[in-house]
Chain A
Amino acid sequence: MVILRAGLCPGLTAEMIQLLKANGIATVVDLVSSDLEEVARKCSLSYKALVAVRRVLLAQFSAFPVNGADLYEELKSSTAILSTGSRSLDRLLDSGLYTGEVTELTGAPGSGKTQVCLSIAVSTSHDLKQNVLYVDSTGGFTASRLLQLAQTRTGDEEEQVEALQKIQVARVFDVYKMLDVLQELRCSVSQQVLSSSGPVKVLVVDSVSAVICPLLGGRQAEGLALMMQLARELKTLARELSMAVVVTNHVTRDGSSGHLKPALGRSWSFVPSTRVLLESREGTWGKASTRRIASLTKSSRQPTGIEVELDIGSCGVLEESPAASGEGR
């Protein structure tokens, strides 16, 4: 709801605004949707001036259509596929995390979501030498674990430090702080404030449900509106800044069928483009196993239902790197 004010666009003077207000036209939408002939008559303003102002306002506030061929050219050069550091997980995700998309990891507590996130962060910062922003809302992030993972990639201390320096961490515990962090990220990129080594390529949010679940329930739409706003921020960051966004989410049991389904409800289920479910099959492997099954539950590129096995041992889900001289599994 943009309110008309002087100087909003050239040609929109303060007296014009006063006259319009007197006739019930206060916002941009009001002006654009009204019959300009009538308005010109009632407010005794110049029709030509009104048409010109309308055109400028529309150009300023509406979105521009892009031709498909141009968009394709742009995407070809800006889309990247980032390997997660684990060959089986890459196979599940059709060679890795795609920039411009939101990928969701769902699973019960203890299924390994945080471990996978940490592994992705280290793999991106060390192997791919790209910056990572890790937003932690559960308190499950520990720098020592990150160091341990970095040590499995390389024995050289300097390289380890370099890898860790590329990972920024933000600890947030409510949705407003999370929105602030995301806005700050957007502003810093748009103002071209570069960190020492370039823009953030991977955004990890662990987890989204921890900040949203307290808001849901009850009859007010506010919680859902905040959730959709957060979803919109994440998708905008992914698309416009060419980032790969990874979020984690809990699971609940479906009331009628008893199947596991992602938490946060139907409205959220439309948000991620790819969804992976992590489970531990305690029946087959016993309680203390570090093996997990990751299955693809939503994808626009591959058939769902593909399953791979992951091991979240001391190396996270990262594969043995030939350069590592640290402990093996």
Chain B
Amino acid sequence: MSDGFRKAESGSQLLARLEGRSSLKNLEPCLFADEGFPIHGDVVEFHGPEGTGKTEMLYHLIARCVLPKSGGGLEVEVMFIDTDYHFDMLRLVTILEHRLSQSTEEMIKQCLGRLFLVNCSSSTQLLLTLYSLENKFFAHPSLCIVILDSISAFYWIDRSNGGESFNIQEMNLKRCAEFLEKLVREHHLALFATTQTIMQKSSNSTESSIHLKLHCEADVEYRPYLCKSWQQMVTHRIFFSKQCNFNSSKTFSIVSCHTKKNHVIKCSFSVAECGVQF
């Protein structure tokens, strides 16, 4: 909120903001091209076509975050913003049950108590929800991860509502991206967002700029279609794809690119009953 400048913060709010959030070390070393863990302020984009394991990877991250330290987790709180009713609670519970050594109802409820879910049905509602969530970040200092699945869900509806002008079409998403950036910066969060591959790869070579050359080197099919504000705030872009091996076991592979430092890391994983396995 831009009127937060003069609004008096209470002592606890000030401490929460300045002290920094819990460290996210060891969240998932395989995913991050650099340091090995997301530092606060990182914006990670999961990009890939349907059926490539993006949502499974999100469940894996959520599990890693909400499990208690004794169960191998980080015991931090997660805010999950669901824009297309994708979230499957029963699947998450199955994964948690497999990862806890003694999975009682109490333990599961305790883990789930660290997860907050919001459903948004339009980009306008998403924007207003982000504004109203700001207070939640003040009140919960251990809330340091925001997951947005997915940020591209309103793309076609926005484009059709915006009439002829591209600016109006992108306006809502642009404002969301700008506000998210502000939230991430001020509250030291890490943001994970998924975008869907809904465009075909551009065969027009003049469209690819230097910005995309990195992706061409990394051999991924990527055609950016969201607004510039979003593209510029992403620090890590992770591409998901499916591979069919000869022994007919399905594995998924990811290519992780750090947008500023030009690092590329590849690894692969498979999905079992207990979730993602590297």
Contact = CB atoms under 8 A, between A and B. Distances in A.
A191 interface: no
B89 A68 contact: yes
Q: How large is the interface on A (under 10, 10 to 19, 20 to 34, 35 or more residues)?
A: 35 or more
A267 B160 contact: no
B89 A58 contact: no
Contacts of B86: 270, 273
Please classify the interface of chain B as helix (H, G, I), strand (E, B), loop, or mixed, using the class held by over half of its residues: helix
A63 B118 contact: yes
Contacts of A34: 2
B89 to A, nearest CB: 5
B132 to A, nearest CB: 4
B129 interface: yes
A197 interface: no
A62 interface: yes
B213 interface: no
A221 B84 CA distance: 19
Interface string A49-61: 0010000011101
Contacts of A273: 86, 88
Contacts of A64: 118
B127 interface: yes
A101 B88 CA distance: 9
B131 interface: yes
B267 to A, nearest CB: 21
B113 A69 contact: yes
B69 to A, nearest CB: 18
A171 to B, nearest CB: 27
A233 to B, nearest CB: 10
Interface in A30-65: 32-37, 51, 57-59, 61-65
B121 A300 contact: no
Contacts of B66: 68
B159 A72 contact: no
Contacts of A287: none
Interface of A: 1-2, 28-29, 32-37, 51, 57-59, 61-69, 71-72, 75, 79, 101, 220-222, 224-229, 231-232, 235-236, 238-239, 265-267, 269-271, 273, 298, 300-301, 303-305
Interface of B: 2-3, 6, 49-51, 55, 66, 79, 84-86, 88-91, 93-94, 108-121, 124-125, 127-129, 131-133, 136, 153-154, 156-157, 159-161, 172, 175, 179, 196-199, 248, 250
Given A51-B3, A266-B50, 15 more contacts: A29-B175, A62-B125, A63-B118, A63-B121, A68-B66, A68-B115, A72-B108, A75-B89, A224-B156, A224-B159, A226-B160, A228-B154, A236-B85, A269-B51, A298-B50
